[in-house]
Structure 1
Amino acid sequence: MNAAIRAVVRSGHYHGLEVYGVYRGYSGLIQGDIVPLKLGSVGDIIHRGGTVLYSARCEEFKTEEGRARAVENLRREGIEALVVIGGDGSFRGAQKLTALGFPTIGVPGTIDNDIPGTDFTIGFDTAVNTVIHSIDKIRDTATSHERTYIVEVMGRDAGDIALWAGLADGAESILIPEAPYNLDEIVERLQRGNKRGKRHSIIIVAEGVGSGVDIGQQIKERTGMETRVTVLGHIQRGGSPTAFDRVLASRMGAKAVDLLLEGKKDQMVAIRNNQVMGIEFEEAFNSKHQPDMSLYDLAGILAI
């Protein structure tokens, strides 16, 4: 997100605009925690994970009174438009601001990669690479101790992190919410590998599927194999962003400014076939994200 913030600020100044930052999201809008951002304000942040503007949930913004106060604070500062970086909830809030006559543009930032209408969201690639680095280390231990490791990754209702990390790391099985899994098939694959001399395996479980601990216990009971479970948790949400994410965020932040200068509003920035564009919020809200299931099929073929 920091790369996107930097791009909005510097692109805005390039076009002669005054740029402000809002601390802690919609909570900051209501509290009036709004500060000018100069060129130097965003120096030395592109390599940092998270967001220098911080993030917070805000129940008050869900009320009409809270949103009215937010718009009042923005207009008091002379601010004419807003760029909102976040996910589905943030975008729905942005749409409500637009309905109050305040132009907004959304920039998709979530590690889950679960926002419809865009091929990638900011943070996804970094999260996947974090998972890959962790699995590489786990595989060393799995090999040495001849064990099956179940690795639970984030994703809630979206399996993109599990799918991409599992394919990139040669996982024997990948469990994602979008595809029903058959424990018998997983057990059969493990046993088949064991018969041909394979002494360790990696199974990736997206948290939306269920508990990695429970699945690991079931596998152990059915196979008698030594199993260990690792839940990666919030380690996936931090760390220095990948080059891909830094470039994506920079392109999206600059595009958000371009859209506002064109008079656009109630849109989000998306990337499709490596082209950055604006699409209506409704397009994202009215469709359902689906991972690339051809990758899922490929992972199954390669794990034979």
Structure 2
Amino acid sequence: MRVGILTGGGDCPGLNAVIRGIVHAANERFETYGILNGWKGMLTKDIMKLTMDDVEGIHILGGTILGTSRVNPFKDEESKELLEKNYKDMNLDALIAIGGDDTLSVAAKLSSLGYPVVGVPKTIDNDVSNTDYTFGFHTAVNVGADAIDRLHSTAKSHQRVMIVELMGREAGWITIEAGMAAGAHLILIPEFPMTINEIVNYVNKRMKDKRYMIIAVAEGFKPTELEQVVADKSSIDAFGHIKLGGIAHYLAEIIEQKTGFETRSVVLGHLLRGGTPTAFDRILGTRYGVEAMRLIKNKDFGRMVALKGNKIISIPLEYGVATKKLVPFEYYKLAQLFFD
């Protein structure tokens, strides 16, 4: 039985652990093949056999040995037909798609057409619904918290406001957890907009009392009275997403103008998704990979693996892409206790 594996969307720590878990969980009845560069590889028939030797030690590496892309094979009828043709031409008996909302939405559509597909949720934003955690998120929070930790000393030394921009298009999970862990004095996330005046009031109060301030802001945060700040209005990916970025720089200019306090911005960006995964993400990725292979063996297709509590379960693929998992008010209220 030939099982294909692909990784789509943004890379993140733990992807290689999933691939390794799948290959190790296969037995002599199953051959594993890597589809190179995500859904793009399904359109170009870029495929390589994966053996135990190929995945030796890869669980400690960041990124993905298979490569990735943001190609949408359902963007038009021609691509859709090519996807279906190549699935058959490559003699795949099943496909494991590892990715976030966009990758899994393609997997769900392919599954609805009758193709044997299993999904593995992947996003450092941790916003895939119906799973407690996605691998890569833990690593991103650690990197973000470490960066904010380091900025405390320079902000305090220079009596500055420092604004740190972290990833998070619609969900502020990375920002709120990294911010709380590192003691940010204000946390701004997409789920809970705030006016410029409210932000300025926090800054004035903090700077009067403490003379320095750290603000953690998600890239998708939008001040109540303004339009979304974007890096490039003309840059839209295959799934219709505009390129975000620049909110920290924008806020720094406004805050310095309105308060007179020296303000600097730092954008962590892709630093959050690069490098070696934490032990937690290596183990979670491994468990996801093993469970995905178990679903294939049982011919339990059209499902996505998920984490509930400490148990690995599976749910219908469409449940994983039904909605975004956003930060609830109760959790943001906890963070607000430390805004000072």
Q: TM-score, normalised by structure 1?
A: 0.93
**Counterpart selection for 1:285 from 308, 321, 329:** 321
Q: Which residue of 287, 294, 299 maps to 2:330?
A: 294
Counterpart in the other structure of 2:276? 240
**Structure 1 stretches of 5 or more lacking a match?**
none
Say which is worse superposed, 214-223 or 140-149, in terms of deviation: 214-223
Question: Which stretch has the larger CA shift, 74-83 or 162-171?
Answer: 74-83
The residue aligned with 2:301 is 265
Preserved CA contact (<8 Å) 1:23 1:33 = yes
1:25-83 deviations in Å (ceiling 9; x for gaps): 11111211111111111112111111000002325553343333334333334321110
Aligned to 1:99: 112
Say whether residues 1:12 and 2:26 are aligned partners. yes
Aligned to 1:115: 128
The one-letter code matched in structure 1 to 2:102 is G
Greater share of helix:
1
Give the secondary structure class of the aligned counterpart of 1:192. helix
* CA-CA distance at 1:265 after TM superposition: 1.6
User: Contact conserved, 1:154 with 1:161, CA < 8 A, in 2?
Assistant: yes
CA distance in 2: counterparts of 1:292 and 1:9, whole angstroms: 37
Q: Which runs of structure 1 show a deviation greater than 4 angstroms over 4 or more consecutive aligned residues?
A: none
Determine the structure 1 residue equivalent to 2:204.
191
Q: Would you say the 8 A contact 1:32–1:70 is kept in 2?
A: no
Structure 1 residue corresponding to 2:292, chosen from 225, 249, 256: 256
| Aligned residue in 1 for 2:6 | none
In structure 2, C-alpha distance between the alignment counterparts of 1:191 and 1:60, rounded to whole Å: 50
Of 220, 226, 231, 1:208 maps to 220
Contact 1:87-1:115 at 8 Å conserved across structures: yes
CA RMSD of aligned residues (A): 1.8
Paired residues of 1:27 and 1:61 also in contact (CA < 8 A):
no
Distance 1:39 1:106, change over 3 A: same
Shift in Å at residue 224 of structure 1?
A: 1.6
Contact 1:94 1:104 in 2 (8 A): yes
Whether the 8 Å contact between 2:104 and 2:321 is mirrored in structure 1 is no
| Cα separation, 1, equivalents of 2:205 and 2:73 | 55
Deviation at 1:255, TM superposition (A): 0.9
- Aligned counterpart in structure 2 of residue 157 of structure 1, from 158, 161, 170: 170
- Quick one: percent identity of the two aligned structures? 42
Q: Quick check: 1:30–1:61 contact (8 Å CA) kept in 2?
A: no
Q: Distance in 1 between matches of 2:96 and 2:73?
A: 20
Instruction: Name 2:3's counterpart in structure 1.
Output: none
Matches within 5 A, 1:113-152: 113-152=126-165
1:66 is aligned, of 59, 79, 83, to: 79
Match of 2:225 in 1: none
- Bigger strand share: 2
Please say if residues 72 and 106 of structure 2, whose CA atoms lie closer than 8 Å, have aligned partners that are also in contact.
Answer: no
Task: State TM-score, norm by structure 2.
Answer: 0.84
Asked whether the 8 Å contact 2:148–2:182 carries over to 1, the reply is yes
- Give, as a single letter, the amino acid of the residue that structure 2 aligns with 1:293: F
